[in-house]
Amino acid sequence: SVGKPRQQSRNRSTYPQEAQKGPGQTVDHNSSDQKTACRKHELYVSFRDLGWQDWIIAPEGYAANYCDGECSFPLNAHMNATNHAIVQTLVHLMNPENVPKPCCAPTKLHAISVLYFDDNSNVILKKYKNMVVRACGCH
Amino acid sequence: GGSFLFDSASELQSRSIHRRLRTQEKREMQKEILSILGLTHRPRPHLWNGKYNSAPLFMLDLYNALNVDKKNELDASWNPNKSVFTTQEHHLATVQDNAYLNEADMVMSFVNLVEYDRELSPNRRHHKEFKFNLSQIPEGEKVAAAEFRIYKECVGTAFHNETIQLSVFKVVGKRLDRDADLLLLESRQLWAVDEGWLEFDITATINLWVMKPHHNLGLQISVQTSIGENINPKEAGLVSQGGPLEKQPFMVAFFKVKELHIRTPR
C-alpha cells in the first residue's frame, strides 16, 4: 500500500513519461538505459594531492569509487538489487508520484590499510572498514 | 595545488563536475578525512632520524604483507583453483607477526627514545636502557600482543663458538640514590655467531603501561658470557644507539578495538 506522498529530493525518481504509463504498458528498455544504469564509478582519493606525504607513508591514495545511476525496471541480477528494491520499482511504476525508485548504493564495501607517522614519529598501521566501494546495487 | 578528488580521465570528458577546490573547502575536506582516520589534527612527525629507520621498515613490511593477502583474495575470487599462497619477501616481519596482523585492527611501532647511553652505576655499566612513548595510543584499543625487537649481528673472533645470555628487564622502580629496581622478563641463550632480529614478548608489560602510564619506566638489557661475565651488549653484536638505522631496536604492539569509535558531530 502507498501512504502519504513523500517529500523526495535526493532520488531522481519521477519522470513525466513514466508517470503517464501504467504498469501494464510497455516501457522501452533500450541500450541507452544501460549507460545510465546503476553502476560503480571511479573516484580516487589522493593523499599526495592533500600534501600529506610527510606523515602518510602508504598508500599514496586509494580508489574509493562511488555508485551512481538509475534503478529502473527491470532490475536484473547484475545490479545486485534487493528483493525490496524490485518490489519498490514495481510500485514506483504504478505510483511514480508517491513512491521513488530505489537508490543506487554500495552493496559491498572493503577496508583499506593506512600506514602513517604520529607526532612522536611512531608508526601506525590501521585498518579502516568500509572505505572502498567494491560493488553497487539498488536498495 | 591540484584537486584531490577526481574521476577517471574518461569520466572527466563526459562530465563537467570536476573543479578545483577553494582553500577553505580543501581544509574542510582535509578535516573530514582526518576525522575518518580518527585523528584530531594532522600529525607533524619529527623525521630527524629518517623514514628508513627499522620501525617504519618493519611496518612497511606488515603493510605490504596485508596488501599481498588482499591481492590474493581478489585473485582467488576470480579463479578459485588458483593457489592463494605466494612467496613474500619479509625482511623483518615473521610468520608470528603476520598471524597477529590478521587479528589486529591496528599495529603501532614505537621508537626508542634513549638517544645516548646514560652513565649507570658500576654494577650496571653494561646495561642498556630503552624508553618508549605510549601516550598516543588511542583510547579503546586493547593490546593483543607486543614485542620488543633488537637486532643481533654476528660476533666474529672474540666469542667464537661461545654462547651468551641476553636478559631483558622491566624497570619497576627508580630512586635517585640507587640502581633502578628491575624485574626479569626473559633470559635467552644465544650463539655468538647468531645474526638476526630477536623478539621478546612484552604483552603483559605493555598492557600495564597502557593502563598505568606512570609504570612506564622503560626496559633494560644485559648480556653475560657463558662464564657469567657481564659484557657490553655491543660486544655481543647487539645493535643499539649509534648502530645502523635499519637495525635500531624498537617495540611493536598489535591492537584490537575494544569499542566502537564514534565520530564527533561537527
Answer for the pair B71, B85: CB distance below 8 angstroms, yes or no: no
Residues A120, B136: C-beta atoms closer than 8 Å? yes
Per-residue model confidence as pLDDT tens digits over B40-75: 899 988 765 556 789 889 999 999 988 876 665 554
**What percentage of chain A reaches a pLDDT higher than 70?**
73
Query: Residue A80: pLDDT band by 50, 70, 90 thresholds?
Result: confident
The whole-number average pLDDT for the span A38-46 is: 93
- Ranges of H-type helices in chain B: 9-14, 23-36, 54-78, 95-103, 203-211
Answer for the pair A139, A82: CB distance below 8 angstroms, yes or no: yes
Secondary structure of A73-106 as H, E, C letters:
CCCCHHHCCCHHHHHHHHHHHHCCCCCCCCCEEE
Specify the pLDDT at position A6.
Answer: 42
Residues with Cβ < 8 Å from B110, sequence gap 6 or more? A122, B55, B132, B133, B134, B250, B251, B252, B253
Q: Which of B66-83 are b and which e, b meaning 16 or more Cβ less than 10 Å from the residue's Cβ? A: bebbeebeeeeeeeeeee
ipTM of the complex: 0.77
Residues of A with Cβ-Cβ distance to B7 under 8 angstroms: 41-43
Cα–Cα distance, B59 to A18 (Å, whole number):
56
B27: nearest CA in chain A?
A: A50
Q: Which of residues B166 and B162 earns the better pLDDT score? A: B166
Q: What is the mean pLDDT of chain B?
A: 78
Cα–Cα distance, A118 to B171 (Å, whole number):
26
* Range ranked top by mean pLDDT from A81-85, A102-106, B82-86, B224-228: A102-106
Specify the pLDDT at position B1.
Answer: 37
Query: Residue B76: pLDDT band by 50, 70, 90 thresholds?
Result: very low
3-state helix vs strand vs coil in chain B, percent to 5? 25, 30, 45
Residues of B with Cβ-Cβ distance to A43 under 8 angstroms: 5-7
Q: Which of residues A25 and B227 earns the better pLDDT score? A: B227
- Whether residue A3 is predicted with pLDDT greater than 90 in this model: the reply is no
Answer for the pair B152, B190: CB distance below 8 angstroms, yes or no: yes
Specify the pLDDT at position A30.
Answer: 44
Residues of A with Cβ-Cβ distance to B107 under 8 angstroms: 124-126
Residues B6, A46: C-beta atoms closer than 8 Å? yes
Residues with Cβ < 8 Å from A43, sequence gap 6 or more? A63, A64, A65, A66, B5, B6, B7
Q: How far apart are the first and last CA of chain A?
A: 19
Cα–Cα distance, B30 to B176 (Å, whole number):
47
Per-residue model confidence as pLDDT tens digits over B95-153: 677 777 777 889 999 988 887 666 666 677 788 999 999 988 877 788 999 999 999 99
Q: Which three cell numbers stand for residue B141?
A: 584499543
Tell me how far the alpha carbon of residue A109 is from its chain's centroid: 11
Per-residue model confidence as pLDDT tens digits over B207-262: 999 999 999 999 999 999 888 888 889 888 999 888 888 899 999 999 987 655 55
